[in-house]
Amino acid sequence: MEKNIIESQCFLWDTSVKSYDSTGIRPARRIIAACQALHNTRPTAEDRRLSHMNISLRQLRVFEAVARHLSYTRAAEELHLSQPAVSMQVRQLEEEIGLILFERLGKRILLTEAGEEVHQYSQAIDRSLIEMEEVMESLKGVNRGRLQVAVASTVNYFAPRLLAIFQKRYPGITLKLVVTNREKLVHLLDGNAVDLVLMGLPPKTVEVESEVFMENPLVVVAPPDHPLAGERDIPLSRIAQEVFVMREEGSGTRQAMERFFAERGLSIRHGMQMTRNEAVKQAVRSGLGLSVVSMHTIELELETRRLVVLDVEDFPDRRQWYLVYRQGKRLSPAARAFREFVLAEAASIAAPISFPQKTPANG
């Protein structure tokens, strides 16, 4: 019975099917060995090539998640799998490749040299599959598809309004929004991990396409009872004597603030450091220092007089918001529609910006 089964499988193998069954590669190798024994032949180069490196997309996706998190537990949570299932997929991948991909250092896991190489290839394969999916979606038209947009945390003060209007126009498009700081946005662009990015100054370390879609004025804010709140044309040298509440390193607003003062030969006194705009505003309201923020983030505080904009020399610092994506990236119909929407309508949808009027000096 078993010999008949093997002979029939050998027949299929010899007629160029040469694939393995749903249980994995081992049955295929068993069949090859049995065929060779049955026909008393040595394996050909083609047999050896076809019987090696039978890697599944599932194995690569599981491996990529573990490599990205450097954690089996976090990869399992992301993939909605059990940790033993994740470990098994990685182990099977290592067996197919014939090299160890991870090494343990205490409780940590690290990529080996082979693991680093496989990680690069797995990311490239994933990007190719995403591009293929986008091309297939383009054949279906703009009314369907997925769109992943990443925005700077400051942009998130008006991004939900943009996405809500866009979603009403294109209800068949599934949207995903990622909110993070500049440093992580650059990382996402470098890995081609999102469709479009809304951010401040585009990075110089990654080849990107960028287009201005709106002004981003930066202003100096203070609590209403601050001694400088009623003064006009405050010199920068005077402002530089104040303590400033800062965003974290990697924040675009912080980089713009430090660059602004450095270009004028001034340095600022760093006070508390915060990772969120809301925390920065709360710290300023509490009297912990001044700060430089985007006008887009303080609409409510100005209306309720919780913060005031100081009349400072050379402010507002008129920056721009950019729509950015990887150079050479093929935009899906959904991404192209969102790009056109942002460039045409974002400035009118975002809350209007009004600046305190400078009163002319008497005389």
* Whole-number Å distance between alpha carbons of 69 and 208: 26
In a domain, 134, yes or no: no
Query: How confident is the model over 225-245, as pLDDT tens digits?
Result: 999 998 999 999 999 999 999
Q: Which residues contact 110 (CB under 8 A, 6 or more apart)?
A: 70, 102, 103, 104
**Could you identify the residue written with the tokens 């430089």?**
292
Task: Please report, for residues 51, 115, 285, 319, the alpha-carbon distance to residue 354 in angstroms, rounded to integers and kept in the order given.
Answer: 69, 53, 21, 15
**pLDDT-wise least confident of 11-15, 239-243, 322-326, 333-337:** 11-15
Domain with 91, as residue range(s), is 57-127
Instruction: Work out the widest C-alpha separation in the chain, in whole angstroms.
Output: 111
* Whole-number Å distance between alpha carbons of 306 and 219: 15
Instruction: Judge if 267 and 252 occupy the same domain.
Output: yes
pLDDT higher than 50, residue 222: yes
Instruction: Judge if 103 and 174 occupy the same domain.
Output: no
Instruction: Judge if 221 and 279 occupy the same domain.
Output: yes
Tell me phi and psi for residue 227, to 5 degrees.
-55, -25
Query: How confident is the model over 71-128, as pLDDT tens digits?
Result: 999 999 989 999 999 999 999 999 999 999 999 988 899 999 999 999 999 988 887 8
What does the pLDDT read at residue 114? 93
HEC profile of 3-37: HHHHHHHHHHHHCCCCCCCCCCHHHHHHHHHHHHH
What does the pLDDT read at residue 25? 39
> Is residue 121 helix, strand or coil?
helix
> Is residue 262 helix, strand or coil?
helix
DSSP state for residue 359 in the 8-state scheme: P
**pLDDT-wise least confident of 83-97, 122-136, 314-328:** 122-136
In a domain, 307, yes or no: yes
Instruction: Judge if 230 and 314 occupy the same domain.
Output: yes
Instruction: Judge if 116 and 39 occupy the same domain.
Output: no
Going by pLDDT thresholds of 50, 70 and 90, the confidence category of residue 54 is confident
**What b/e sequence results for 14-42 when a residue is b if at least 16 CB atoms lie within 10 Å of its CB, and e otherwise?**
eeeeeebeeeebeebeebbebbeeeeeee
Instruction: Judge if 204 and 331 occupy the same domain.
Output: yes
Instruction: Judge if 165 and 208 occupy the same domain.
Output: yes
pLDDT higher than 60, residue 27: no
Query: How confident is the model over 251-308, as pLDDT tens digits?
Result: 888 888 899 999 999 988 999 998 888 999 999 999 999 999 999 899 889 989 999 9
Going by pLDDT thresholds of 50, 70 and 90, the confidence category of residue 211 is very high
Question: Residue 200 sits in a domain of what CATH number?
Answer: 3.40.190.10
pTM above threshold 0.85: no
What does the pLDDT read at residue 140? 64
Going by pLDDT thresholds of 50, 70 and 90, the confidence category of residue 178 is very high
Instruction: Judge if 40 and 90 occupy the same domain.
Output: no
Q: Which residues contact 319 (CB under 8 A, 6 or more apart)?
A: 200, 201, 215, 216, 217, 218, 256
pLDDT higher than 50, residue 50: no
